């Protein structure tokens, strides 16, 4: 969970998480796991626009293909929900964590009307609140 939290601060969370886990497991030599996670990108560089994107409008005209694309979209949303809920069950284990979740969700929902807040500020605020609670209790 620490690696996931640290990964939120950077534009490449998978790289940061791989580096963090490698460092925790094997110290300085282990951090090379983060560097190895980018190796596939060095081997194969993507074309500027995947061919499927050029065909998407035509595929949407087919009932079968359009249904398939909609199903893939729904599966992607479900996968993202599982990725959020599963770690949440581990972390949200007391009243403070529930309160922090509710406050962060409200801040995100209400502030979207004005300006989209950075998750970095929410993470820092949660960490600060956790430090205050730990000092008081």
Q: Give 73-104 as a DSSP string.
A: HHHHHHHHHHHHHHHHHHH--SHHHHHHHHHH
Q: Across the chain, what does the average pLDDT equal?
A: 76
Same structural domain, 97 and 135 = yes
Residue-wise pLDDT tens digits, 73-131: 899 888 888 877 877 788 788 888 888 888 877 877 777 666 666 777 777 777 888 88
Q: What DSSP state is assigned to residue 134?
A: H
Query: Could you tell me the residue range of the domain that residue 97 belongs to?
Result: 92-137
**Neighbouring C-beta atoms of residue 34, cutoff 10 Å:** 19
Q: Are residues 2 and 38 in the same domain?
A: yes
Q: Let me know whether 97 and 131 are in one domain.
A: yes
- The pLDDT > 90 percentage for the chain reads 1
Distance CA 15, CA 32 (A): 10
Residue labelled with tokens 């079968």? 64
- In this structure, the answer to whether residues 136 and 96 fall within a common structural domain is yes
Residue-level pLDDT at 2 = 66
Q: What is the pLDDT of residues 105-116, one digit of tens each?
A: 787 777 766 666
| Number of domains the chain contains | 3
For residues 24 and 58, membership in a common domain is answered with: no
More confident call, 5 vs 17:
17
- Claim to verify: residue 77 and residue 115 sit in the same structural domain: no
Same structural domain for residues 1 and 15?
Answer: yes
């Amino acid at each position: 969970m620490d690696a996931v939290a640290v990964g939120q601060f950077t534009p490449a969370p998978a790289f940061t998480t791989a580096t963090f886990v490698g460092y925790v497991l094997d110290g300085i030599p282990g951090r090379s796991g983060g560097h190895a996670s980018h190796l596939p990108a060095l081997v194969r560089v993507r074309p500027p626009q995947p061919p499927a994107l050029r065909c998407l409008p035509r595929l949407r005209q087919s009932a079968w293909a359009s249904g398939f694309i909609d199903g893939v979209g729904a599966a992607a949303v479900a996968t993202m929900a599982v990725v959020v809920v599963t770690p949440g069950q581990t972390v949200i284990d007391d009243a403070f964590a529930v309160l922090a979740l509710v406050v962060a969700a409200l801040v995100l929902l209400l502030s979207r009307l004005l300006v989209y807040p950075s998750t970095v500020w929410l993470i820092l605020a949660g960490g600060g609140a956790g430090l205050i609670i730990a000092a008081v209790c």
